[in-house]
Homo-oligomer: A and B are copies of this chain.
Amino acid sequence: MKVKISRKAHFNAAHRLYRKDWDHAKNERIFGKCNNPNFHGHNYELIVSVNGEIDAETGFVMDMKVLKDLIKEEVEDVLDHKNLNLEVPEFEELNPTAENIAVVIWDKLRPHIDSNNELEVVLYETPRNFVTYSG
């Protein structure tokens, strides 16, 4: 019996959308207000889901507390209260759009999840904008 378990977490961060190899005018046209050179920021809400068989002994797919601690170590400790562009190496050359942040988070978590299980990341950039990535 396969069940998907989900855990919510959150972090907040500053970021800016732009490409170094585009001039200012093109960055403005494509990224608008999100290209502010002084940065803006968000409270990112995160839902991490692991899909797998229920362990018959414990009744768990995966211990929620283990998942919570994993998200803290791999995601919150690395991204919370940070400037994504300046302080997170993955975004040195990668635009920190919600899409790319979700992929980066998924890549950080994947090695720590049982390889028989599927992993999904939902990331809310605002209460009205969110993205979903499943690998």
Interface residues, chain A, CB within 8 Å of chain B? 1-10, 12-15, 17, 19, 30-34, 36, 38-43, 45, 49, 54, 57-61, 63-65, 80-83, 86-87, 94-100, 102-103, 126-133
Q: Flag if A100 contacts B59 (CB, 8 Å).
A: yes
Q: Flag if B59 contacts A17 (CB, 8 Å).
A: yes
Q: Flag if A19 contacts B57 (CB, 8 Å).
A: yes
State the copy count for this chain.
6
A30 / chain B contacts, CB cutoff of 8 Å: 58, 63
With A38-B82, A43-B127 known, 17 other A-B pairs at CB within 8 A are: A3-B102, A3-B132, A3-B133, A5-B129, A6-B132, A7-B128, A8-B127, A8-B128, A14-B41, A19-B57, A33-B81, A36-B82, A39-B39, A40-B41, A40-B82, A58-B97, A59-B100
